[in-house]
Structures are given as C-alpha cells and as structure tokens.
Amino acid sequence: MNYLLDVNALVAVGFTHHEFHDRVAAWIKAARFPAMATCSITELGFVRVLAQAPSYGITVTQARTLLSRLKKADALAFTFILDDHDVSQLPTWVKSPKQTTDGHLLELARANGAVLATLDERIPGAFLIP
C-alpha cells in the first residue's frame, strides 16, 4: 500500500518537535516502513507550516533542506505524485473551504493507487494514522 501523507502527517514525520511526531513514527515502524508519497501541495504545505510557525524558528531554506533529507532517508520510501487534478475532481462531500485541500488530496491519492494518510478523523475515506 502506498500512502499519500497530508501536510500535517508529513510535518509530523519530518519534524521531531511536532506534537504528533511520536504517533506517526510509531505507525511507520509498526507498519514496517510503508511506501509513502508526497505531492506539490503537501511539500509546499510542509515548508509553509514550518517556516510560518514562530515557535519552530525555521526558515524556508531550512524547511526545504529538512524535507529533502527526509525524502532521501534510507529507512523511508517516498515517491512523488504528480498533480493533474482540477476542481472538477473534488468529492461531493466537500462543502466548506476548509475541506477543499483534504478532498483534493483524497482524490489525488485514489487516482494514483494510494491512500490518503492523515491525523484528521474528519476526512471520509482517508486512513487515520493510529
């Protein structure tokens, strides 16, 4: 199984000070290092979240470097999913602006034989990281 990590899950994997780092790391270990994927949205979100949080003290350049190292780590197997989905691909359950990225990522994962892995229990059809 290939898992497309949403932004929060990707940040939790790559940033040890994230509140859910231990949770995601435990899932990765228990699942015996599953195949994971990123896409433009999740990678840009990773950089934005880390560089935008004053408490993290990370620059855009540092966040980019951290993500690059994460993706090259021997223990993890990351692939990159090209994003060719437009707004017509949004699922019908998307009703609010806050759901648009979740719906987009869910459908992008499905179209590429992956499952969206998340820490958000409100995304129908996604895999909730235990």
How many Å apart are CA 59 and CA 54, to the nearest integer? 10
**Domain 2-120 belongs to what topology?**
Rossmann fold (3.40.50)
Tokens 């790559």 sit on residue: 14
77 pLDDT exceeds 90?
no
* 3-state DSSP helix/strand/coil % of the chain, to nearest 5: 50, 15, 35
Is the Cβ–Cβ distance between 27 and 39 less than 8 Å? no
Tell me whether residue 55 is exposed, middle or buried, using C-beta atoms within 10 angstroms of its C-beta: 0 to 12, 13 to 18, 19 or more: exposed
| pLDDT tens sequence across 103-123 | 999 999 999 999 999 999 999
In eight-state DSSP terms, residue 90 is -
- Of 118, 112, 115, 99, give the one whose Cα is nearest residue 7: 118
How many Å apart are CA 33 and CA 61, to the nearest integer? 27
pLDDT of residue 66: 96
Phi, psi of 80 (to 5 degrees): -120, 125
* Torsion angle of C-alpha atoms 51, 95, 5, 80, degrees rounded to 10: -90
Taking residues 39-52, what's their average pLDDT?
97
Taking residues 73-97, what's their average pLDDT?
92
pLDDT band at residue 75 under the 50/70/90 scheme: confident
